[in-house]
Amino acid sequence: MRPVRPVRPVLVVVAHGSRDPRHAASVRALVRRVRSLRPGLRVETGFLDFSVPSVHGVLESLAAEGVRDVVALPLLLTRAFHAKADIPAVLREAPPRLRVRRADVLGPAPLLLTALERRLYEAGLSPADKSSTGVVLASAGSTDPEAIAVIADIAREWRHTGWCAVRPAFASAGSPAGFPRTEDVVRDLRAMGCAMVAVAPYVLAPGFLPDRIVRGAGGADVLADVLGAAPEVARVVLDRYDGARTPAPAAVGA
């Protein structure tokens, strides 16, 4: 008699959502990349706001199909408000017969630094330019102290891989404990003597705040694309999925 293989939990990617259709298109491209890396894994996408389907709708549909085990993965780079409040609140409303395990957010992760460098090289930088290039690590922004500290740590870690300098910046109007705007950091790096200045958006998809990063990068020599469906990002998604399965964290709505 053949052993029965355990059914793998369905991966539900929880994205923020945006009125900008490029956001959903980028998320779906990433999900396609994840599926290509692990054929046979069922991956669904739910959005917190603006886009469809909603997270609640996806969970209801899965429960109606008879699915019993889900890993919900926040498509976020830091643990800020959405990871700490919005997503837990949505998952608590999951159908009671559905076991939902919550994976960690994507960042920080060494693979994301690799993805950032990939985007910079795709935008025209060469590895030979690295030591003479100052990089603006441009994120959307947050008032959450934990998220601010994580972005600062990433900039410090990345600086030690050989760049002239790496400085964090926020696209949004940050708190006093946050970082300056992209355009201000571009000027600072130019003033400190970096031969080239590059802007690396530490964001997953296009939208309102990423567009602000683009406008702030007007004085830079190189502007990288968003992380999007970079293969390294897809691998981090699968790493977080695997981590949520074993050892299993506390179930939500079990």
Instruction: Tell whether 83 is covered by a domain.
Output: yes
For the stretch 95-135, pLDDT in tens is 999 999 999 999 999 999 999 999 999 999 999 999 999 99
- Are residues 248 and 216 both part of a single domain? no
Number of domains in the chain: 2
Instruction: Tell whether 112 is covered by a domain.
Output: no
- Are residues 171 and 235 both part of a single domain? no
- Are residues 191 and 241 both part of a single domain? no
Q: Provide the residue type at 202 as one letter.
A: Y
Residues 6+ apart with CB under 8 A from 28: 45
Q: Which candidate, 126, 29, 148, 34, places its Cα nearest to that of 80?
A: 148
Query: Using CA atoms, how far apart are residues 156 and 145, in angstroms rounded to an integer?
Result: 17
Instruction: Tell whether 119 is covered by a domain.
Output: no
pLDDT band at 178 (very low <50, low <70, confident <90, very high): confident
**Alpha-carbon dihedral 147, 152, 154, 156, rounded to 10 degrees:** -170
Residue range(s) defining the domain that contains residue 53: 10-107+230-252
DSSP 95: -
User: What's the predicted TM-score (pTM) here?
Assistant: 0.92
Instruction: Tell whether 4 is covered by a domain.
Output: no
Q: Is the pLDDT of residue 167 over 60?
A: yes
- Are residues 96 and 146 both part of a single domain? no
CATH of residue 243: 3.40.50.1400
Instruction: Tell whether 101 is covered by a domain.
Output: yes
- Are residues 214 and 235 both part of a single domain? no
For the stretch 205-241, pLDDT in tens is 999 999 999 999 999 999 999 999 999 999 999 999 9
- Are residues 80 and 166 both part of a single domain? no
